[in-house]
Amino acid sequence: MTPAGPVRPGSPRRIVLGVGGGIAAYKVCEVLRRLTAAGHQVRVVPTEAALSFVGAATWEALSGLPVHHGLFADVPEVPHVRLGQTADLVLVAPTTADLLARAAHGRADDLLSATLLTARCPVLLIPAMHTEMWDHPATVHNVAVLRSRGTVVAQPASGRLTGADSGAGRLPDPAEIVDLATLLLRRVDALPRDLTGRRVVISAGGTHEPLDPVRYLGNRSSGRQGYALARVAAQRGAQVTLVAAHTADLTEPAGVDLVRVDTAREMREAMLKAAPQAEVVVMAAAVADFRPAYPSSDKIKKTVSDPAPVSLVRNPDILHELVRCRLEGQVVVGFAAETGDSERDVLTYGRVKLAHKGCDLLVVNAVGRGGAFEVDHNTGWLLGLDGVEAELPEGPKSLLASYVWDAVAARLTG
């Protein structure tokens, strides 16, 4: 497994933000705001058409830097060469069908297309267009050409488009775009297309076990790690089903089928239904191990002076069942949130859990002292049933997800 590059988490970088001529350009103001808030220096390079949607003054005010689109501004600075040469990332959003075609053909007739030719850093294109344009053989071909050259062409989201249309081609949420950009800044090779055509099912979030109609027993989990796994898998080409219990208010990852569940038993049903069609199964959810044995159908009143103790019953161990009915060649991944104690450290507990669960890979997170839960960053170890062990570098949850998918992809092909 490749370790992360030398870039420290959160260190400011130089980003060229290309903006194509599509209505989604207005959403990219929020992308710019988030990137500059993270401390990055962002040079906005719109196409001429993009300026019909959002003017140069807006981009200049938000980036704090001058904005040009033609090849004949600032000529002594040679920006058509310098911008691409010196960038750490070129991000283009929205990337229109026309921009994809121009990039695939190596055109250099404006500042953005020239910058794409001179960039030697990761290039991340975020397409947004009508479904017919996205599905057209010309666009499909252009995307394939760009991907074969190592350009990351993201999977667009599905949903409402301009006018009454709905379908694939929607610009992913700004938070998701920034997450992918941040991932590539940390790890240039985080998004290969090595899961193309693979079907994966991932659980996320914490289950709620009802005590009465308004109260429940639950596990702490924001669902962020499961969502990051789903997002990265989809961008690496997988067909993803995400079985989500209760989560923080998270953006639905682009290009992912979302199945909502409430309790452990509902999650078990959804996972066992999806697993036989999947080549990879990941249990990232925090499943409540117990549930109240006798949930009340009416709200338990506070006026009851001495409430009866709550008796609990064991919930099914979903990961155990998934391992038991694993298909030939299927890769099963579990997560373990552990704390160490005076007898054993976190890693030792992780090894014991891996042997007990029998999954192919186990991601071990140290919890407590601010680790793992409800935060954006994560770290840990990746343990393989085959004895392979790797420490995962501290970073965004999508970075950890990228290392998990590396290990899964190696097992799928191997």
Distance, CA of 40 to chain centre: 20
- Among the listed residues 351, 353, 356, 333, the one whose alpha carbon sits nearest the alpha carbon of residue 412: 333
Q: Rounded to the nearest 5°, which phi and psi values hold at 289?
A: -75, -25
Residue 303 CB neighbours (<10 A): 5
139 vs 221, which CB is nearer to ligand CTP?
Answer: 221
Helical ranges in 157-306 per DSSP H: 174-186, 224-235, 264-274
Q: Provide the minimum distance between the beta carbon of 305 and ligand CTP in the complex, in angstroms, as a whole number.
A: 34
- Among the listed residues 167, 106, 154, 165, the one whose alpha carbon sits nearest the alpha carbon of residue 127: 154
174 vs 334, which CB is nearer to ligand CTP?
Answer: 334
- Among the listed residues 413, 414, 405, 412, the one whose alpha carbon sits nearest the alpha carbon of residue 1: 405
Q: Which amino acid does the sequence have at 36? A: T
Q: Provide the minimum distance between the beta carbon of 381 and ligand CTP in the complex, in angstroms, as a whole number.
A: 13
Binding site for ligand CTP (CB under 6 A): 264, 283, 285, 287, 289, 315, 317-319, 334-337
Is the separation of the CB atoms in 400 and 380 below 8 Å?
Answer: yes
Q: Provide the minimum distance between the beta carbon of 337 and ligand CTP in the complex, in angstroms, as a whole number.
A: 5
Sign of CA dihedral 345, 203, 320, 207: positive
Q: Provide the minimum distance between the beta carbon of 322 and ligand CTP in the complex, in angstroms, as a whole number.
A: 7
List all residues 6 or more positions away from 46 whose beta carbon is below 8 Å from its beta carbon.
18, 19, 25, 54, 56, 59, 67, 69, 112
Of 142, 219, 315, 365, catalytic: 219
Quote the tokens at residue 19.
């903006």
- Distance in angstroms (rounded) separating the CA atoms of residues 31 and 250: 16
Q: Provide the minimum distance between the beta carbon of 214 and ligand CTP in the complex, in angstroms, as a whole number.
A: 24
74 vs 289, which CB is nearer to ligand CTP?
Answer: 289
Q: Provide the minimum distance between the beta carbon of 277 and ligand CTP in the complex, in angstroms, as a whole number.
A: 19
30 vs 317, which CB is nearer to ligand CTP?
Answer: 317
97 vs 319, which CB is nearer to ligand CTP?
Answer: 319
Q: Residue 3, preceding bond cis, omega within 30 degrees?
A: no
Q: Residue 94, preceding bond cis, omega within 30 degrees?
A: yes
Q: Provide the minimum distance between the beta carbon of 224 and ligand CTP in the complex, in angstroms, as a whole number.
A: 15
Is the separation of the CB atoms in 61 and 55 below 8 Å?
Answer: no
44 vs 332, which CB is nearer to ligand CTP?
Answer: 332
Residue 323 CB neighbours (<10 A): 19
47 vs 378, which CB is nearer to ligand CTP?
Answer: 378
Quote the tokens at residue 325.
């009915």
**Residue 219 bears catalytic tag:** yes
Is the separation of the CB atoms in 9 and 378 below 8 Å?
Answer: no
Tell me the catalytic residues.
219
